[in-house]
Structures are given as C-alpha cells and as structure tokens.
Amino acid sequence: MPTPHYGQPRYRAIAQELSERIESGVIPPGALLPTESALTAEFQASRGTIRQALSALRENGLTTTEHGRGTYANPHPYEPAPTENLIREVRQREVVADIELATLFSIEVGSTLVLHESVTRSQSGVEAVSRTYRLAEGDQ
Amino acid sequence: MPTPHYGQPRYRAIAQELSERIESGVIPPGALLPTESALTAEFQASRGTIRQALSALRENGLTTTEHGRGTYANPHPYEPAPTENLIREVRQREVVADIELATLFSIEVGSTLVLHESVTRSQSGVEAVSRTYRLAEGDQ
DNA sequence: AGAAATTTGTCCGTATGTATC
DNA sequence: AGATACATACGGACAAATTTC
C-alpha cells in the first residue's frame, strides 16, 4: 500500500490524539503512556511512525521517555521563568558524585564535582533551586 | 552486520562532527550543509541515521532545514556558552524533597518537587548536568 | 543471583510523497 | 517536465536498560 499523507502526516495526527488524552486527563500526569508496540497496534502504524509521534510530544515538553521503562506524561507541560521581582543567590561548592551523577559523567562514585547552586526567591518564597554540576578543573 | 553502538551512537557522533564544522567555519553561517545523500555517502551511514543527526542539530538550534532546499547553518543566534558544539537533552520528572531542598522551599521532607534536568554533552562526554527544582503546580 | 521477558534505542534498506530548482 | 532534495512510512534486526520471575 502506498503512503500518502494528505494534509496532516500520520505521526502528527497520532501525536495530537495523544496530547489530547494527556491534557484531558485520560492519561493523568505522571502516568505511563501505552507502550510503543501497544500504540502500533492501536493506530495500525509502524513503530517508526509511533516513535516519531512520541518524539514530537517529547519536544513539546509533554512527555518524558526513559530507556527500558516507558514514556510518562509530564506533571508540567512547561515552565516559563518569571523574571520579575526575583532575587538570586548563587553559591559554589564541591560535592561527591552519587551513582546517578557518576554514571552520567562516566566517573567513579565518590569523585568530586563542582556544584553551582542558584536559589531564586520571590516575595512568596523560594521559586526555584537550580544546580549545575561540572567536572572539577583538570579532571577533563 | 549487526549494529553495535558502543559508547556514543553513530548519529550523535555525526552530529558532533557536523557541529564542529559549523563552529570552526568550515561550513560558514548561512551556507548549505551537504545533502542528505552526500552525507550518507561520506559517513557510510543510512539516510535514517543521517536524518537523526540533522534532527539533533536542528533541535539544538544550529541549523535550519527547508523542504526541497536543504539544511542551512544558522548564524550564531544567542548563545550563553562559549563552545557551541554541544548537544543538550532535557527531561522532566518528579522527585521527593530531601532535608536540604525541603528547608530551602520551606516545605516538608518528602514533598514532591518538579525537576527539570538538562544534560549537556560534547564530544568528550558529559559537560554539565543542570537540575532545576520547583514546587509542583498548585502547591504554591 | 541470574535468566527471561518487556520496553525503548539505534541502524539498516526500501518505497513513495512533496517541495524546490 | 525533469532532476534534486527533504518528508513520511513501512519492515526487520539487534543493542541496551529495566522489570519480572
């Protein structure tokens, strides 16, 4: 069978259907979406097309996908940073890498990382805490 | 032949090679990148893999692709980072507040926070991991 | 602890549609 | 109209992370 895509391509229609389910609450925040193979069965599309649709959702910040686990509906569709009346406090310190960070940086657990921490406050209290980890100088 | 991808996957290596060419000026701003079929020949990779690499460049704002025309190198937009051949991955999840975070936010230990995590990669590996914590919607 | 099943990630090849030159 | 170039879609195979038994 040919593969025409008049107007809207298939993957986008699927992405739209899925995003409607998320925003309507059919798929609640934090919940797993159906697996890719389940979606291929439901939409009668190839896995590649399904993955293209899921990729679109991810780029729009609606979902998060984890290898071997699945795709989750995000608790928060977005988060524009309010840039008014904010106070930022920045400090710097050294920390030891836990398993998660060590894996990301491909270093050993217990290695030192440099941490820049930024605390953003508004009148109502702490708005956000941002932490950036980097390898210590000379370790790279 | 099988498809092993030890360490870094093929498409990412290609993406970094191309971003270096853009960064170094081998491919000047505004210029067209080689066509997908040309890249297929050069890197001895399938077109799908090439498109995956180009997609990564696009997502990182390095290039712009136009249907039927080609892929252009973007003129340096607004970049906070000095080195531009970087690839960022973003994901979002919920975490439980430890004592430190709970104190900062003035919430109870165990409360859920929304975490946006951004991993910045260069060819040498992970450059930085940035984590931003915020209160869940409705808790503020 | 270890093996199997599940699920997402990567890669290939092919075919056809659509936009541009 | 023809050639070129990117877009969409299918199918198959194997790799890697996670979960389950």
* pLDDT tens track for A43-98: 999 999 999 999 999 998 899 999 999 999 998 765 555 566 677 788 888 999 98
Best residue in B88, B92, B112 for a mutation probing chain A (most A CBs within 10 Å): B92
Q: How far is the CA of B32 from the C1' of C10 (A)?
A: 27
Distances in whole angstroms, Cα of residue B116 to Cα of each of A34, A74, A94: 23, 11, 21
For A74, the closest of B59, B92, B104 (CB atoms) is B92
Which residues are paired to B66 by β-bridges? Answer: B70
For A128, the closest of B59, B91, B132 (CB atoms) is B132
Task: State how far the Cα of B74 lies from the Cα of B43, in Å rounded to an integer.
Answer: 22
The 10s digit of each residue's pLDDT in B5-26 is 557 899 999 999 999 999 899 9
Please answer yes or no on whether B129 and A133 come within 8 Å at the CB atom.
yes
Tokens representing A16 are 């739209």
The 10s digit of each residue's pLDDT in B79-137 is 454 455 677 888 888 899 999 999 999 999 999 999 989 998 887 788 899 999 999 87
Give me the pLDDT at residue B6, please. 59
Which of chain A's residues 38-97 bind strand D, using a 7 Å CB cutoff? 44-49, 52, 66-69
Distances in whole angstroms, Cα of residue A97 to Cα of each of A113, A114, B91: 6, 10, 20
For A119, the closest of B104, B124, B137 (CB atoms) is B104
What is the band of B53 on the pLDDT scale with cuts at 50, 70, 90?
A: very high
Q: How far is the CA of A68 from the C1' of C1 (A)?
A: 21
Task: Enumerate the residues of chain A whose CB falls inside 8 A of the CB of residue B124.
Answer: 140
Q: How far is the CA of A69 from the C1' of C2 (A)?
A: 20
Q: N- to C-terminal Cα distance for chain A?
A: 53
Phi, psi for A118 (deg, rounded to 5): -125, 125
Q: N- to C-terminal Cα distance for chain B?
A: 55
Sole residue written with tokens 């920390």? A95
Helix crossing, A47-59 with A10-24: angle to 10°? 50
Distances in whole angstroms, Cα of residue B9 to Cα of each of A53, A72, B80, B127: 21, 24, 27, 17
